[in-house]
Amino acid sequence: MKIHQFSVDEALASLHSRHEGLSAAEVEHRLREYGANRVEQVQGEALWLSFIREFVHFFALILWIAAGLAFFAESRHPGEGMATLGYAILGVIVVNGLFSFWQQYRAERAILALQKLLPQHVKVLRDGKVGLILAADLVPGDVILLQEGDNVPADCRLLEAFSLRVNNATVTGESLPQARDAVPSIEENLEHSRNTLLAGTSAVSGEGRAVVFATGMHTEFGKIAHLTQTAGKTRSPLQREIARLSRLIAILAVTLGLAFFLIGSSMHMSFWDNFIFAIGIIVANVPEGLLPTVTLSLAMATQRMARRNALIRHLPSVEALGSATVICTDKTGTLTENRMAVSALYLGEQLLTPTAVHRQPELAQAYHRFFEDALLCHNLKETQLDGKWQLMGDPMEIALVRMAKTCLGEIRGYPKINEVPFDTDRKRLSTIHQTPTGVVLYCKGALEALLPLCTQIQTATGTAPLTPDARQDYLNAQEDMAGRGLRVLAFAWRMLENSHNAPAQERDLVLSGLVGLEDPPRPEVPEAIRKCRAAGIKVIMVTGDHPHTAQAIGRQIGQVQTDNPVVITGAQLRRLSEIQLRFVLDAPDIIFARVGADQKMRIVTALKKKKHVVAVTGDGVNDAPALKIADIGIAMGVGGTDVAKEAADMILLDDNFASIVAAIEEGRAVYENIRKFLTYILTSNIPEIVPYLAFALLKIPLPLTIIQILAVDLGTDMLPALGLGAARPEPGNMARPPRPRKERLLDWRLLTRAYLFLGVMEAIVAMAAYFYVLYSGGWHWGERLTGPEPLYLQATTACFSAIIVTQIVNVFLCKTPGRSVFGAPAFDNRIILWGILLEIVLVIVIDYTAWGNLVFGTMPLAPDVWLFILPFALAMLLLEELRKFAVAKWKRWTGTLNAG
């Protein structure tokens, strides 16, 4: 047997404790044995090791090697700009490493939030005396005293309780306050036992005395903390793709370098000249601007998401959200408003809403005893907060008072002169008030507890006998409300001659009506669910609440659309094997109810094994482990605990599920935008490589210098690439399913378009401009030119400038990869426009200023050179438009064939 199944005396005996509490000597002994009552931090990775890791991941290693090769080349052939390239690459590594480390450092503070949630002080009974001690000094066997508003400091077994209700939402996810008593439980699960209080929860009403049976990491709260800390955070889809991209780039660069080293050897180039040539090929193929562009693009996407109430904590999560195929969402506070509200009334023989009653004052007056009952029969306290008087206590009772005030249209408070407290055996509360018409007993509770005490019912014209038919009508109304996921309360009253012996006067009552309470769904959620379905994203509700409540909410918001949805409770989930769970997850409509923290993790893990990209929403401590292992964890910013926020990748600033849809739309755009600027950046690799090939194979002067390559990669290309990365979502973004998991960021379609089409065109333009200047200056094939000669400097300047001009055209081609440039807005992306302006300014500075000429080895170009380049750039635009037209035609044709 477990402690919650023992009687009070057996529970104390099992802990070697007493009703008077422990002695000071025993406390000291147990404190040494069990340790302080606090959440301990699992030993994690050292801070310095995390710092170093940001500088040695695979792509960073590629850049380190590229920088090393550049410095080596500079040592063999000084003055060719390789040292400048090396320093620029080192700058990229350092800036990205520091930024990534700062993001990681901020994410590793979840344990601080866990410790803040537990109370600092607690009332304890030791040696028969009540004292106030630090919660950290509690030990198993301590007897503590709790009252309304107190946080529970450890896992406890109640010894006695008086109208005690607790809010378990942060640990179990249950939205309604739960009544607690000291009666031995037959419940198997500790967390749902009526006589158990869990660390991290709070008392919303009543008071009690309890014995501590678990402290620190041994509590349910501590176990969740352990899960949160030890659950390994998986890499996002974008992180996996960047790692793959890094390997491909490394292989491609090294392969080309080796290939051209062999070509040079076959042409009898000297070893060192050939080696330096191979280094140039390798460095030219490493897109030094990729990491800063990806980082800045994600950072700008986070700013756009923040404006749509989604705060991103980890940059790679931006794209991960756009890849999501499943959202596992908590119910309380996520799909619902996390507040109790009256949604249905049963008065006479009518099922009404509070709004309908408010519009009919005569109806409210006819049933005024019913509304007075809701207004007066409670244990709420009025407290002044921020200069305003507010009711404090059970949220359900607060909702009833609000409903009564709305329907009555005025506040009528009659003094309470006696009370019969609520307890779990009676399942009802009665209060006695002095009213202008005499002494009245008001009673509320479960219908099954009130019906045997009633002899009459309230009608619109007065009272009438409670007939068997009327009794059945009330039972049917209760069943109907409960089937809609509402919590049902019955109300009754009677006139008294005096207020003495109050419990004996709970008889011959007038049954006045029923109330159905719910935690209402957010009004924006149904539309958000519809958009998720249209976007091919499956929504699964995972909650600690009751299955009937969860299913009713699911139907209201549109998450459940089939007649027989699959509803799995935590107890049923424990009996499912891994294979059975995977089959269950294939159901079109599925709800998990009454599940624990470890079970949420199991659901997420099973979905990931089914190759889903999983987003998990939540707000409680119990959600934190699942938030951490998900591809993206989404916490509530207003109603969420600090624990959930620190474990999450994204925080909803307005706690609105609908904001997730907006964030998904932005996330999807990020992936497409990265492909756009990848195409843009990789395209310029070809016109940077071809000059080296021509230099080696055709025995011509080198058309492009290393410093000019650097000017393109880390100068002129950066801002337009960033503009592509910051582009707004394309039309129809949310009307298509998530991208296939096997789809790669860098695939053969992208490489073919960048390297074999756009890149080749740019290389042709660049080499044509180079030869145009050479031949215009009287150069003859085979003639050697040295660096300082004006003709050579003008020719390399023409090659460099042609690349810039074609890249200006290319940014518009990459901006709309699937549709015509002429069919898209040209000036809707201000970053691209500023980028183009910057490119033009940089070209002017590099080509036409003494400083630019000195640093970059350039010379001013004559106007005829620009006139020579521009028709080629226009031809590039037209050829790409022709390609898009052909691809669209082919897709329509193959689509017609498939349809036929």
359: its two tokens: 């519009």
The one-character DSSP state at 333 is T
- Distance between CA atoms of residues 897 and 324, nearest Å: 32
Q: Which residues, other chains included, contact 503 with Cβ-Cβ below 8 Å and sequence gap of 6+?
A: 420, 430
Name the strand (E) or helix (H) holding 433.
strand 428-435
What whole-number distance in Å separates Cα of residue 711 and Cα of residue 289? 11
Q: State the Cα–Cα distance between residues 867 and 864, nearest whole angstrom.
A: 5
- In sequence order, the β-bridge partners of residue 559 are none
CA distance 887 to 752: 14
Spell out the long-range contacts of 45-52 with Cβ–Cβ below 8 A and sequence spacing 24 or more.
47/105, 50/101, 50/104, 50/105, 50/108, 51/101
- Which residues, listed in sequence order, are joined to residue 158 by a DSSP beta bridge? 210
8-state DSSP, 740? P
The per-residue DSSP string of 517-577 comes to EE-PBPTTHHHHHHHHHHTT-EEEEE-SS-HHHHHHHHHHHTS--SSS-EEEEHHHHHH--
The angle formed by the CA atoms of residues 820, 825 and 830, to the nearest 5 degrees, is: 125
In 3-state terms the chain splits into helix, strand, coil percentages (rounded to 5) of 55, 20, 30
In the annotation, is 655 catalytic?
no
Where do we find the tokens 């939030």?
113
Residue partners of 615: CB distance under 8 A and separation at least 6: 320, 321, 324, 326, 327, 328, 630, 631, 632, 633, 634, 660
Query: How many other CB atoms are there within 10 angstroms of residue 444's CB atom?
Result: 25
Q: Which of 142, 155, 330, 655 is catalytic?
A: 330
| Nearest-angstrom CA–CA distance, 45 and 588 | 41
Q: What is the CA radius of gyration of the chain?
A: 36
Q: Which alpha helices (H) appear in 108-189, and where do they start and end?
A: 110-117, 169-172
Nearest to 117 by CA among 201, 216, 41, 42: 201
Question: In angstroms, rounded to a whole number, what is the distance separating the alpha carbons of residues 407 and 367?
Answer: 10
Cα–Cα nearest to 616, from 652, 572, 668 = 652
Closest CA to 707 of 875, 856, 555: 856
Cα(279)–Cα(256) distance, integer angstroms? 10
Report the residue count for the chain: 900
* Residues with catalytic roles: 330
